Amino acid sequence: MSDKEFVIPFVGLKQGVHEFNFEIGKAFFESIEYSIVLEGNVYVTFLLDKKETMLIGDYTIRGTVKASCGRCNDPVDVDVEGEFQLVYKFDDKPSEDESLVIVYPEEYEIDVKESIHEFISVSIPSRTVHKEGECNEDVMKILSEYQVFTLNEDGSVKPDEEYDDWDSDEEEDDTTDNWESENEPDEDTDQKEDEVQNGDDDYIDPRWNALKGLKK
């Protein structure tokens, strides 16, 4: 399919609705750099309603594409379908509205290729995976050796069970006990301080005894 097939000259069209049909195949996706779609068979119906100040384009997309599996990275078939609308407004000023395409006075045709690819891409689910048991066995075996998390049947991730048994309260209690033991008052120290404060003449600081043994 040539890119020219996606270019529609609107100048020569009469006001009203005009229908265009496209069959999208592997060559279409290969021609687009960094496409998340590997290949596919998609049918697109494009209804172009020409008015005095604008063009209204209605896209209907139905088909199947191949995308990468989120688990094993092998190709997986994904059904895509949807209806989208773009408004092509005749104007000489740009617009930030994503659903509005500005057609400048010097332009006489529109290219719908990029829009078709975008609509196909957004029709693909955010997570594409094979059905249970259809993933690449060799890849899954390698992944299982390094897997920290397990997968639910729907492909979502859940923590390994061993992490659910973690008893944070026990660790907290141990920490509390250690803190209390480290900060518990020393009975001997308290006794010495009391004796000094009470003026006990019989009490002699052992450090003075050590100093008496030194020669002058």
Q: Evaluate whether residue 133 is within a structural domain.
A: no
Amino acid at 143: L
Q: Are 12 and 112 part of one and the same domain?
A: yes
151 and 158 in contact (C-beta within 8 Å)? yes
- Rounded distance, CA 42 to CA 1, Å? 13
Measure the CA angle with vertex 76, ends 71 and 82; round to 5°. 115
Please indicate, yes or no, whether residues 46 and 111 belong to a single structural domain of this protein.
Answer: yes
Residue 150 forms part of a structural domain:
no
Amino acid identity for residue 176 in this structure: T
Is 172 found in the same domain as 100? no
Position 135: which residue type? Answer: C
In this structure, the answer to whether residues 176 and 112 fall within a common structural domain is: no
In a domain, 149, yes or no: no
Q: Does 148 fall in a domain?
A: no
| Domain around 71 | 3-122
**Per-residue confidence of the chain (216 residues) as pLDDT tens digits?**
568 899 999 998 999 999 999 999 999 999 998 888 889 999 999 999 999 999 999 999 999 999 888 888 889 999 999 999 999 999 999 888 877 999 999 999 999 999 999 999 999 988 888 888 888 888 888 877 766 655 566 655 555 444 344 344 444 445 445 545 555 555 555 554 555 455 555 555 555 555 555 544
| Total structural domains within the chain | 2
Q: Global pTM?
A: 0.63
**Per the domain annotation, does 60 fall within a domain?**
yes
Residues 17 and 93 grouped into a single domain: yes
> Is the same domain home to 112 and 172?
no
Contacts (Cβ under 8 Å, ≥6 apart) of 30: 39
163 assigned to some structural domain: no
Phi-psi region of 129 (alpha: psi -120 to 50; beta: other; left: phi over 0): beta
Q: In terms of domains, do 172 and 68 share one?
A: no
Within-domain flag for 135 = no
Residues 116, 177, single domain; the answer is no
